[in-house]
Amino acid sequence: MHKLTKRCPVCNSKMLGYTDITAGTVCEDVEQCTLCNYYYEYMYGHTTISVNQPLEEFRWSYNTPWEEAKPIQDAYQLAIRIARERRDASFNSV
Ligand SMILES: [Zn+2]
């Protein structure tokens, strides 16, 4: 188990997390931002990402067909972008 200090894609603060690498393969990878509630979880081929409050959750797994997984991945990247812009806007208005 390795402690990592990745940066949150939404608010750029350091996230709590760990990665479990077995035989050169990532089995588990969990990153959580305590500031904006961004959450990333990869567990044995299953990915869950939560962005925003109220929570928007995105899930797919290794056996999700690409044509289904692609729109989910696009949606979560859009959610991150919107969350980041919303955050920047709230900073600017202060
Ligand atoms: Zn964050």
d(CA 43, ligand 1 centre) in Å:
21
* Positions of the chain with pLDDT under 50: 1
Q: In terms of residue numbers, what domain contains 44?
A: 3-92
d(CA 11, ligand 1 centre) in Å:
4
Split into its structural domains, the chain has a count of 1
CA-wise closest residue to 40 among 22, 60, 67 = 60
pLDDT at 12: 92
d(CA 9, ligand 1 centre) in Å:
7
pLDDT at 53: 66
For 83, how many CA atoms within 13 A lie in the half-sphere containing its CB? 22
d(CA 49, ligand 1 centre) in Å:
12
d(CA 23, ligand 1 centre) in Å:
30
CA-wise closest residue to 53 among 34, 41, 38 = 38
5-19 burial, b at 16+ Cβ within 10 Å, e below that, comes to eeebbbbeeebebeb
